[in-house]
Each structure stands twice: as C-alpha cells, then as structure tokens.
Amino acid sequence: MRLQDIKVQLEAEQVAGSPRPELEIKEACAADLMSDVLASARPGSLLLTGLTHPQAVRVAALASLAAVVFVQGKEPLRDTLVAAEESGLPLFVTQLSLFESCGRLYQAGLRG
C-alpha cells in the first residue's frame, strides 16, 4: 500500500518530513513502548503510536521505519517536528484512535 493510500485511509495529514506519497508500505506496527518498537518493527514498516515526543521519531529512524503516524489527533511537540525534519521521516497526524487506525489499515490489506 502506498503512503498516500495510508494517508487517505486514516484521513491523516502530514505535519513534517519528506513528501513520499509513492513509498510502498507492506507492514505496520502499533506500540507505545519504545523497546517494543525496537524489538519487533521490521525495517520499512509504518509506526502508529500515541507517543508524540521526539523519542518516537528517533526510535523510528533507528529502526529504519518508513513513516510515523500519531493517533488520536495528538499534536507533536516542536522538538518532534524538528527531529522528523532532520531525518526526513514522514510524520502524520490522524484524529482516529489507535484501534480504529489499525482496523482500517488491516481491512485495507496492511499486515503486522
């Protein structure tokens, strides 16, 4: 699924990072514990999380993830936006809950 399709599914908006609408995403991971992300997310995955501080972006960059979505309309902190701009990692915000977001993406064919 392309990043652009994920954006549409989640009614999300991109708030930082490189525009990469055509980027192909095959897997996603949902977690609020950083060690869980590092232990289980495979490179190229999408991260869905409720944590909006810069650690979420740094962890995603270290794990070579493709993009990050903040759920529940949570506003990223300023430092988080800066971290995303520095690494180029596309960062999105959706108003949907974590549960709803995962449900929609699973329905649309994305796997964990």
Partner 1 sequence: MRSRGAGTRTQLTKLEELLRELRVEEVMTRRLVSVSGDFTMAQVKELLRKHRISGVPVLEGEALVGVVSIEDVTRALEQGEMGAKVRDRMSREVITVFADEPAVEAVKRFAHTKVGRLPVLDRGGKVVGILTPGDPVGRAFRVMDLRYREQEQQRWQQKGLGLEDLLGEGASLVLRFRVQGEDFAGAGKASVQAKRVLGRLGLDPGAVRRATIAAYEAEMNLIIHTRGGELTLEATPHSVVVEAVDKGPGIVDVEQALQPGFSTAPEWVCEMGFGAGMGLNNIQSCADEFEIESEVGRGTRVRAVVHLSQSGRKDRLNR
Pick the binder of partner 1 from 13, 26, 73, 108 (CB under 8 A).
13
Q: Does 23 bind partner 1 (CB under 8 A)?
A: no
Nearer of residues 25 and 91 to partner 1, judged by Cβ: 91
Q: Does 64 bind partner 1 (CB under 8 A)?
A: yes
Token pair 């915000």 in the structure block, residue: 93
**Burial state string for 62-87 with b = 16 or more CB within 10 A and e = fewer than 16:** ebebbbbbbbeeeebeeebbebbeeb
Q: Does 43 bind partner 1 (CB under 8 A)?
A: yes
Closest distance of CB 13 from partner 1, Å:
5
State which H helix or E strand residue 84 sits in. Answer: helix 78-87
